Amino acid sequence: ELEGLSYGDAVRSLAQRAGLEVPEDEQYQSRYKQQERLWALHKDAARFFHSQLYSPLGTEALAYAQKRGMPQKILTAFGIGYAPDSWDSLVRAMKQKGYTEQELKDSGLVTVSQKNGNIFDRFRDRLMFPIIDVRGNIIGFGGRILNNDPNAAKYLNSPETLIFNKRKNLFALNLAKKSKLGYIILVEGYMDAISLHQYGFDCAVASLGTALTEDGATLLSRYTE
């Protein structure tokens, strides 16, 4: 009840913690294994983006984050990172870790060229915000542009995937659900939520590029009235 999990997910979560396997039919097992690979891929991608923020390539991104009032404590708590201004830096890093092209396509972290089918990084030269579900799995990203390209979206989110549905998730709920304040503050953007957390309102969450949906409201109702 505290974690807002369905019965089946609660059983699986406890089994995972205890190192046990839950008997499932083959179709579910196959789907769950695919989900596990995507969760792992997103975790590795988040580590890559976070490391890039502190590399020479991330100097301007780090300066921007600091200018927006984000100290290192906040950057670490939210796992904020930087996607380099490169066509394939993430692709290369993830392939080195053993992820396949198909897994990268399934993750939504890459874009597929219509000309030749080649894949390249979806997020480039953006400050990266991992989107984490209530169980602590990284399921997607939001990226804020750092250059002044008028033709590019200010914010770019991961597309819908096997593990990510923007209507059914809220940014920072993984942190806000632990708040002792007894209520939740819903705001529009990542930066709004992060600013509130920074000043002690650890109950702030943000919608993911949508208006508040029925799914989002249902999710909120599990943690507050």
- Per-residue pLDDT of 167-192, as tens digits, reads 999 999 999 999 999 999 999 999 99
Which residue(s) pair with 121 in the sheet? 110
The pLDDT assigned to 25 comes to: 67
Where is mean pLDDT largest: 87-101, 147-161, 203-217?
Answer: 87-101
Structure tokens at 18: 């205890």
Query: What type of residue is 194?
Result: I
Confidence of residue 114 (pLDDT cuts 50, 70, 90): confident
d(CA 182, CA 199) in angstroms, rounded, equals 17
The pLDDT assigned to 118 comes to: 93
Q: Is the pLDDT of residue 60 over 70?
A: yes
